[in-house]
Structure 1
Amino acid sequence: MKKEFSTNDHIHPDSRKDTHNQSSQENGTWNDHQLEQLFGEALGDTPTADETRKAWQTFIRRHRIRHQSIRRIMILGIAAAVIALALVFQPLLQPEQQEVEVFTSLEVPEEITFREEGKRIIVSTPPATITSVQLSDGSKVLLSANSRLEYQKEFTDTIRSVKLSGEARFEVAKDASRPFIVCTEQLQTRVLGTVFDVKAYPRYSPDVILYQGRVNVSHTKRNQSKEMHPGEQISLDKQGKLQLKRVDTEKRKGWAENKFSFDNTDLRQVMQEIGSWYNISIVFRSRPLLDERIYFHINRQLPVNAVLDVLNDLKIAQFTMKEGKIIVETPQDKKR
């Protein structure tokens, strides 16, 4: 049985209302009477007020559900994008977390070896070892740990030449007629008679320090050379060019006396020296620590763990041995 609308609810066929309805439709807005008529037509009969209200509530509920679904999808998409960007830019935002290996362990013998190959002799040293070599012209070489020296059993009448990988101190006998040349992968040092250090471990920037006399250092692959005087050091800069500077040679003599001796030295250099002496890879897990400067003096003949204990007492960084490597990272109390 059909229920009648009350006077207030019924839609009257008034021409002014029709005109208003048409105007409302054109403007894209609907009043309650129009919605009732719309739902009535859809149901095939004129609905009651209660039916209209229920139909309208169903319409609103579905509309909200659709918008909520769209909003959830958008939120999930934005969250995924934020996570992706965080993963991409995390190394840039936290560069100190990137690992930097400042020394890589080398393939070296377990004891000092002397090997003859034709007219040449090759001397190799194990970790934490220094050995003396006397050449046929009277020159003396103090060969450091994890190093290799190649030289002729008898020098020629025109030149005295040796090859070095690693670190050594040379006390060259004077002979004006026969220059003495130390060849490394990147540098060549030419002298007549003097005392100097050459450090040239594989994959690391080489340097030469002069204690006595005068030497000329040249680049093996570039047309560059510089003359050195006592108290000077030559190394390669980041562009591979020869760089000459004054240094305190007393601070650099320590290795020949079985000492680690560093005064206001950056931690990168300190750990490279420790790594090259013990032949242990050194990995930094905090870039800012590379430039920390320390004062550090200790006997080289101590076990590496004892050296790390002393370094840890400085409270500058945390030094631990993990999987055959020395790890340098920010102390736990400073990470918080």
Structure 2
Amino acid sequence: MITNKEFQELLENTSFRTWVFEKNAQDDAYWTSWVAEDISRKELVERASAFLLSIQGKSVDLEEQYIDLQIQKAIQNAKKEEKTIVEEIEITEVIPLWKRYWAVAASVIVLLGASWFVLNKDASKQEFALYQQQVLEAKVSNELVEVINEGEQSKLVQLPDGSSIVLQKNSRLSYKKAFDADKREVYLVGEAFFEVAKNPERPFFVYANELVTKVLGTSFTIKAFGKDKDIRVIVKTGRVSVFTQTDNNATQLKNNRELTGMVLTANQQAIYQRQEIRLVKAIVDNPVILTLPIENQKFEFVATPISEVFGILEKSYGVDIVYDEEVMSKCSITAKLGDEPLFEKLKWICSITEASYEVSDGQIIITGKPCK
């Protein structure tokens, strides 16, 4: 039996609507596989497809003049937005103008039809649906690990390549148990801070709703909550490439060995404005944006006692570091650490203090000797 919730979620799925209207081979393979996993989905897909096609053909029992008027208003608003002069920022058009106007018009028709069924759009549901779709596609040939942070505190995640991720509350992250030989891919919904282990031969990709972030090794934050009107990629160190999943050059941008597209450097951010369907590049000039301690931490130490060093790491990464304070009381370090993942920082600190570490029950346990 088809439920209203299932019907609503399918209608709100951007990928499903694109498949219904355009019928490309790549989407065909995905939706055929999705139906094959549960034969009961066949009727759901057939009904949802018929409904969307009927709206596109204007056969829904709504006043056609009213529909036409709403579409014209939407197109006019989009044109006005295009003429807006934006100073001191760089704007990259995501899709051609004629496609943008049609997308706006089509979305008005879909929303009108959906309202006929008393469907309430919920941004967070859309966000999670896209994340689920991305993860499901990745699971076709790979086993994924999913980390969910439902607590109030941030959660530290160590990836197979040694990269570190600080996952914020109400966020999810999925990644492969073993990354591919030529690339590393993770899937995010929510907010997280990334410290990516450097490896130019294996680019690191983060798929966060509409955006793709590509790096070779750096540190940055992604904020991609469904309830927010914008998606942000904020760079702390290094260089980051950002583009949309619907970019006509997305495949080329992914496969290029260099960072191309909209390239960000330290203290720059990319803002994807969902309503305007555009990607904006700007300077990070609002301290409120940087909310995690780690985003403002430089990790520079000059003869700093080890207790203070561990205290800074605990606060920045939201982890517990356990060690014998009496044994290591005379230990201190002088170092300028950058965007290395947390575990690389720990390896370096342990090497100069003749200590070692292990991770157990969410804690980092340091075993060391007295320093002279």
Between Structure 1 and Structure 2, the one with more helix by share is 2
TM-score grouping bracket, smaller chain normalisation: 0.3 to 0.5
Q: Which has the larger radius of gyration?
A: 1
Give the structure-1-normalised TM-score. Answer: 0.41
